[in-house]
Amino acid sequence: MFNNLPFIAAAVIGGIGLTALLFRRNIIKMIMGVSLLEASVNLFLVTLGYRQGGIAPIFTNAPEGPMVLPTVQAMTLTNIVIGIATTALLLSFAMMIYRKYGTADAGSIRKLRG
């Protein structure tokens, strides 16, 4: 149970993110939801590579013993970088929409229909 705590945390964070994404109408809050979802995936990735009592996978002056898996950490890092790019893009879209429509409410900016 205790070992699975990070996975549960990832699920909870992801659930909060999805809820925000689906049930909030404010664009900024929806972007927060996307960020939370991303954070949950990152937590899941890092947890996958964790070994009990493992040390950081750096060979400089490394003591004997298990190391945590570096591949998933590299994946997480890449995902964070991509996440920054998407969040910046979404936020600048939100800013421009606010400037053009005067609102950030997803329900009232639907000009495109049909």
Partner 1 sequence: MTPGIIAQHAPALIIALPLFAAFATPLIGRYSRQARDAWIFAAMAATAAIAAVLAYQVYTVGTVVYAFGAAAPHIPLPIDSGGIPIRIIFTVDAMSAFMVVTAAISGFAVTLYSLISESKLTGRDGFYALLLLLITGILGMVCTGDLFNFFVFLELNSIAGAALIAYRNDKGVAIEAGLKYAFLCTIGGLFVIFATALLYGQYNALNIAMLASRIEFTMLDKVALVLLLAALAMKAGAVPLHFWTPDAYSMAPGSITALLVVASQAGLYGVFRVVFTLYSVTLDYFAVGWIIIVLGVLSMFIGVTMALVQKDVKRLMAYHAVSQTGYMLLGVGVGLAVLGQQGLMDAYGLVAMEGGIFHIINHAMYKGLLFLTAGAIFYRTGTRNLNRLGGLGHSMKWTMIFFIIGALAIAGIPPFNGFASKLMIYESVFLFNPLLAIIAMVVSILMLASFVKVFQSIFMGPRLPEYADVKEAPLPMLIGMGILAVVTVAFGLAPAWVVDQFVAPAAAALVNQSGYIASVLGGL
Partner 2 sequence: MNMSKVVRAAANLLFPFILIFGLYIVAHGHLTPGGGFQGGAVFATGIILMIVAYRYETAVGRFSKDILRNCEFAGLLIFVSLALAALAFGTGFFYNWVADTGLIFGASVAPGANPGDLNTGGVIPLMNLAVGLEVLGALSVIILYMLSGTREEA
Q: Which residues bind partner 2 (CB under 8 A)?
A: 56, 58-62, 77, 81, 84, 88, 91-92, 95-96, 99
**Minimum gap (Å) between residue 88 Cβ and partner 2:** 5
Q: Which segments of the chain does DSSP mark as H helices, in order?
A: 5-23, 27-48, 70-101
CA atoms of 54 and 43, how far apart (whole Å)? 17
| Beta bridge mates, 105 | 26
Residue 60 binds which entry of partner 1, partner 2, none, CB below 5-8 Å type-dependent: partner 2
Binds 91, which of partner 2, partner 1, none (CB < 5 to 8 A, cut-off by type)?
A: partner 2
Q: Which burial class, exposed, middle or buried, applies to 4 when counting CB atoms under 10 A from its CB (0-12, 13-18, 19+)?
A: exposed
| x/- letters, 19..48, toward partner 1 (CB under 8 A) | --x-----x--x---x--xx--x--xx--x
Contacts of 35 (CB under 8 A, 6+ apart): 17, 83, 87
Cβ at position 37, least distance to partner 1 in Å: 5
* 3 forms part of the interface with partner 1 (CB under 8 A): no
